[in-house]
């Protein structure tokens, strides 16, 4: 038996099944779902790109800002005299927030939302507002073994918060437009407050050995920078279930 008779082709899948009555309303077809679930032969070339909505592409720009921030931090590590690189690492993050806001507005405007878009949004947010700030903190001097654990805790809190959001988003009360009324825990883009603090330290030269409050347990295996307690506190706020932040 031929493959055509065994598997419905992409063209067949997206064809609207119209009854004999030509005036009957045609059912809507989710092109993205069809493209992603079709076999490679049926979906054709570049099916993933063709499946993306405009909002998904904007979300990718959010992730790109986080990635470019990380690269800028790495360039600064290779040459600590190039302060422009660490400024660039911090400057990319507000642009990530801009694209994070924009993708949601575009999705509601075009009435195009999907599970893929939701997952993309969470992954991009983790890069731009979780991993990238932690890499900046490392680059400006928070590099002891305990510092590593503190920064890892911060990033994992963001990861857990986003995973919980994806699972519970449908249970949060919605407004008349179908938008969730509040965030459970502080949203991960609020880490931009930490980015602003680090930008001030860079501007005033309070980095490396001059980081505010210095180190505790200096000279021991447990030496760490106490300012990282702010990162851990912020991470705890992100994972809180009792804190409800109204959505703008």
Complete domains list, the chain, with CATH: 50-246 (1.20.120)
The pLDDT tens digits for 53-74 are 788 999 999 999 999 999 999 9
Structure tokens at 197: 């603090």
pLDDT tier for residue 7 given thresholds of 50, 70 and 90? very low
pLDDT tier for residue 14 given thresholds of 50, 70 and 90? very low
The pLDDT tens digits for 143-173 are 999 999 999 999 999 999 999 988 887 777 7
Mean pLDDT, range 200-214, rounded to an integer: 97
Q: Is the pLDDT of residue 107 over 90?
A: no
- High-pLDDT (> 90) share of the chain, %: 60
Q: Is the pLDDT of residue 186 over 80?
A: yes
The pLDDT tens digits for 24-52 are 455 555 555 544 555 545 555 555 666 67
């Amino acid at each position: 038996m031929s493959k055509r008779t065994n598997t419905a082709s992409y063209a067949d899948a997206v064809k609207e099944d119209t009854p004999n009555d030509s005036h009957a309303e045609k059912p809507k077809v989710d092109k993205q779902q069809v493209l992603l679930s079709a076999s490679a032969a049926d979906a054709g070339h570049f099916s993933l790109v063709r499946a993306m909505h405009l909002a998904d592409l904007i979300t990718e720009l959010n992730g790109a800002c986080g990635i470019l921030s990380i690269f800028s931090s790495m360039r600064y590590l290779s040459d600590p005299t190039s302060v422009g690189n660490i400024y660039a690492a911090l400057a990319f993050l507000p642009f990530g927030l801009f694209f994070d806001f924009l993708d949601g507005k575009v999705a509601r405007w075009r009435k195009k939302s999907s599970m893929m878009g939701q997952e993309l949004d969470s992954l991009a947010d983790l890069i731009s507002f979780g991993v990238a700030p932690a890499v900046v903190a490392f680059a400006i001097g928070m590099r002891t073994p305990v510092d590593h654990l503190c920064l890892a805790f911060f990033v994992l809190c963001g990861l857990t918060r986003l995973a919980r959001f994806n699972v519970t988003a449908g249970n949060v009360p919605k407004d008349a437009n179908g938008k969730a009324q509040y965030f459970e825990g502080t949203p991960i883009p609020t880490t931009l407050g930490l980015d602003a603090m680090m930008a001030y330290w860079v501007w005033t030269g309070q980095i490396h050995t001059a980081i505010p409050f210095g180190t505790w347990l200096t000279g021991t295996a447990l030496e760490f920078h106490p300012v990282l307690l702010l990162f851990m506190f912020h991470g705890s706020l992100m994972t809180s279930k009792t804190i409800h932040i109204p959505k703008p």
